[in-house]
Amino acid sequence: MQNKLDRLNFDNRFINLLPADNETANHRRQVEQACYSEVLPTAVSSPQLVAYAHEVAALFDLSAVDCQSEDFTQIFSGNMLAKGMQPYAMCYGGHQFGHWAGQLGDGRAINLGEVLNQKGERWAMQLKGAGPTPYSRTADGLAVLRSSVREFLCSEAMYHLGVPTTRALSLITTGEQVMRDMFYDGNPEWEKGAVVCRVAPSFIRFGSFEIHAARNNVALLQELVDYTIRIDFSHLGEPSKEVYLAWFEEVCVKTAEMIVHWQRVGFVHGVMNTDNMSILGLTIDYGPYGWLENYDPDWTPNTTDKEQRRYRFGNQPQIAGWI
């Protein structure tokens, strides 16, 4: 039986134009010579739709009836795939708190594909909390309702504050229990599991390029750069030395503009590692974020950064420049 979302027009250029991981088994590993690994979301027992953003649904030409359907809940909880979906996790590395961390990748995010809407816009769909991937390392790949609510609400709030950001389509509880140590004090507890569907033109990060540079894989690095320019910066023209320089300049400008907006609204990201920095200058990966109450340039919401305060409010422009 055809589900109601099969009319979505998936383009999926990322996986069609870039090299895949040769291994298809879903186990933790170092992934070489590839930009992504194919992986399916983990099925859940009892998904329930908590909320959806009608403005984001409109980007996919989805109606309220579509979003309130059982098919929608099953698909965006990871239990079912719509026609054209080709799930995968991205390979990338990153500098974390100023130090090279090696391969990181989508440890609890699974991309469903890229959709072309009726306006010709390309939007990538990504499930956060949909289970383990080859990049999960020692983690379970899951998310809890507490953090998922924060991501869903903040994505849309930031958009309406005029801040460049990823968007959120849906928030769905899974019916599963997930163990988390909320305060990092050695007292983990069971919490409700949830999945958020995140949306952006692209989820490519600074770390997507760093991993290939660190491995001295110049050919794959250039392949990814050329792809990014042709798909997301096509106005610059075909890749060339001059276009590479113009692209780098535009990435710098977009990042600076994003930081200006953060400072304008008193937003503190909390984890400005290079695996959390979008090549499009979008706010991405809402983790231990927060907003200033009183003006305090030394404030950070990230308790794991409370000693060095590397990612404190007043240091965000310098960190973006360091990146």
Q: What is the pLDDT of residues 255-276, one digit of tens each?
A: 999 999 999 999 999 999 999 9
Count the Cβ atoms, other than its own, within 10 Å of residue 9. 15
For residue 1, pLDDT beyond 70: no
- Average pLDDT value over all residues in the chain: 96
User: Do residue 162 and residue 233 come from a single domain?
Assistant: no
Q: Is the pLDDT of residue 231 over 60?
A: yes
Amino acid (1-letter code) at residue 129: G
Asked whether the CA dihedral 304, 306, 307, 309 is positive or negative, the reply is: positive
Indicate whether 182 and 231 sit together in one domain. no
The reply to whether 157 and 30 lie within a common domain is: yes
Query: Higher model confidence: residue 36 or residue 1?
Result: 36
In the chain, what is the straight-line distance between the N-terminal and C-terminal CA atoms, in Å? 49
What's residue 178's pLDDT?
96
Does residue 91 register a pLDDT over 80? yes
Which tokens hold the place of 256? 């600076």
Last residue of a domain, one of 200, 231, 248: 200
CA of 287: how far to CAs of 143, 150, 151, in Å? 11, 8, 7
Q: Is residue 6 in some structural domain?
A: no
Same domain, 163 and 218: no
275 has catalytic annotation: yes
Catalytic pick among 21, 106, 275, 285: 275
Q: State the total domains in the chain.
A: 2
pLDDT at 323: 60
Task: Summarize the confidence of residues 220-247 as an average pLDDT.
Answer: 98
| Domain assignment present for 8 | no
pLDDT of residue 141: 96
| 36 and 152 both lie in a single domain | yes
Kindly report, residue by residue over 148-189, the tens digit of the pLDDT.
Answer: 999 999 999 999 999 999 999 999 999 999 999 887 788 899
**Within-domain flag for 290:** yes
Residue pLDDT, tens place only, 275-288: 999 999 999 999 99
CA quadruple 152, 154, 157, 161: dihedral sign: negative
Encoded amino acid at 178, one letter: V
Q: Could you give the CA distance from residue 276 to residue 286 in angstroms, rounded to a whole number?
A: 9
Same domain, 83 and 220: no
In a domain, 4, yes or no: no
pTM: 0.96
Range of 246's domain? 206-322
218 shares a domain with 194: no
The answer as to whether 176 is a domain residue is yes
Residues 87 and 141 in one domain: yes
231 and 105 both lie in a single domain:
no
* Contact assessment for residue 166 and residue 278, using Cβ atoms and an 8 Å cutoff: yes
Residues 59 and 183 reside in one and the same domain? yes
Residue 182 CA to residue 193 CA, distance in Å, equals 14
Are the C-beta atoms of residues 175 and 67 closer than 8 Å to each other? no
Asked whether the predicted pLDDT for residue 292 surpasses 80, the reply is: yes
State yes or no: pLDDT of 18 exceeds 80. Answer: yes
CB count in 10 Å sphere of residue 302 = 20
> What CA–CA distance (Å, rounded) separates 39 from 115?
19
Residues 195 and 241 in one domain: no
DSSP string, 292-311: -SS--TT--S-GGGTTT-TT
pLDDT tens digits for range 110-125: 999 999 999 999 999 9
Summarize pLDDT for 178-219 with one digit per residue, the tens: 999 887 788 899 999 999 999 999 999 999 999 999 999 999
In angstroms, the CA 287 to CA 178 distance is 17
